[in-house]
Amino acid sequence: MNADHFIQRRTALGMLGALTAGSALAQGSAAPQPVRIGYQKSSTLIAVLRLQGTLERAFAPLGLKPTWHEFTSGLPLLEALNLDNVDVSADVADTVPVFAQAVGAQLTFLAQEAPSPAAQAIVVRSDSPLRTVADLRGKRVGFAKAAGVHYLLLAALAKAGLGFKDIEPAYLTPADGRAAFERGAIDAWVVWDPFLSAAQIQSGARVLADGTGLASYQRYYLASTRFARARPEALSVLYAELEKTGRWVKAQPKEAAALLAPFWGLDAAVVEQANGRRSYAVRAVTRERLGEQQRIADAFLAEKLLPRRVDALDVDLFKPGAAS
């Protein structure tokens, strides 16, 4: 091989290498776009999807990747959604969208979990003299504002012939509520699973009333309307994975509890009991299934806890699969 031929060959190989490197850089520059998912400790299905890496795999063909953002309860989560700090909200209690609607939040309902009324309850300590909801008159009751337990408390008080003004409310996050409950700073605590199961199993909490016959406790998954319109294919993928995960959690209770227990910092027995009381039956949201939402909104308005009347049917609904 003469010198000129050698130089030509090296030049050609160099050009090929440069083209290959340039192509790789071009591909690498198309970094996946984040889908910001807000969740809370009771967001079981989202926790499973995160721990199993399901959404990373499912979103990858769409050029998307999930990022995870934890909140203490549903109200701050939907406030973040309304402020465009997250794109998607994991499940929140049925009461929370009502408060978001009252301030004009632009939200789209993605999915709904079928009722789980026993997954939230009013509890007292094992040595408490309180035996019925009527005994709460004049007592200090702790709960998270705007959470599903807030409506459960209103409904239980009304059934007992009491009003919200007949108790002393203490608005507390679940963590603060547990601490106040255990040291006796509140007389009763209204809380949802898995915190409810933890209080029962670890602290011997006694149930005065759960949601049975009072509040069906349907949990909702939502997206900002901006994101729902921009990336409907992402919501279709998320909906499908939520459905599958809900079925898996119910079919494999011990495996699901073992997966979630270290993530939540709870005993597997607590997680298994909590999961046993949740339906995890993910379904599409229809206007026919929003009936209780109006009763919730009207109950909060009557107690002057909402700034204006809310029309529970005046919402955007996502149709799963429409953009698949």
- Separation CA 212–CA 136 (nearest Å): 19
Question: What's the pLDDT at 39?
Answer: 96
Q: Where does a domain end: 190, 210, 230?
A: 210
Whether 72 and 187 map to the same domain: the answer is no
β pairing state of 188-192 and 140-143: parallel
Whether 226 and 165 map to the same domain: the answer is no
Whether 272 and 133 map to the same domain: the answer is no
Whether 110 and 222 map to the same domain: the answer is yes
Question: What's the pLDDT at 68?
Answer: 97
Q: What are phi and psi of 29, to 5 degrees?
A: -70, -20
Domain of 248, CATH number, reads 3.40.190.10
Whether 200 and 75 map to the same domain: the answer is no
277-304 pLDDT tens trace: 999 999 999 999 998 999 999 999 998 8
Query: What is the distance between the terminal CA atoms of the chain, rounded to a whole angstrom?
Result: 58
Q: Where does a domain end: 185, 210, 235?
A: 210
Mean pLDDT of 218-236: 96
pTM, entire model: 0.85
Question: What's the pLDDT at 322?
Answer: 57
The backbone region for 26, taken as left when phi is positive above 0, alpha when psi lies in -120 to 50, beta otherwise, is alpha
Q: In terms of residue numbers, what domain contains 206?
A: 118-210
Whether 111 and 128 map to the same domain: the answer is no
Whether 141 and 283 map to the same domain: the answer is no
Mean pLDDT of 180-184: 96
244-283 pLDDT tens trace: 999 999 999 999 999 999 999 999 999 999 999 999 999 9
Whether 292 and 241 map to the same domain: the answer is yes
Whether 173 and 232 map to the same domain: the answer is no
DSSP 114: P
Whether the per-residue pLDDT at 220 is higher than 90: the answer is yes
- The answer as to whether 64 is a domain residue is yes
Mean pLDDT of 202-231: 96
Per-chain mean pLDDT for the chain: 90
Q: What are phi and psi of 279, to 5 degrees?
A: -75, -40
Whether 154 and 110 map to the same domain: the answer is no
**Percent of the chain clearing pLDDT 90 (strictly above):** 85
Please state the domain count of the chain.
2
Q: Is 98 helix (H, G, I), strand (E, B) or coil?
A: helix
- Separation CA 277–CA 113 (nearest Å): 12
Whether the per-residue pLDDT at 138 is higher than 50: the answer is yes
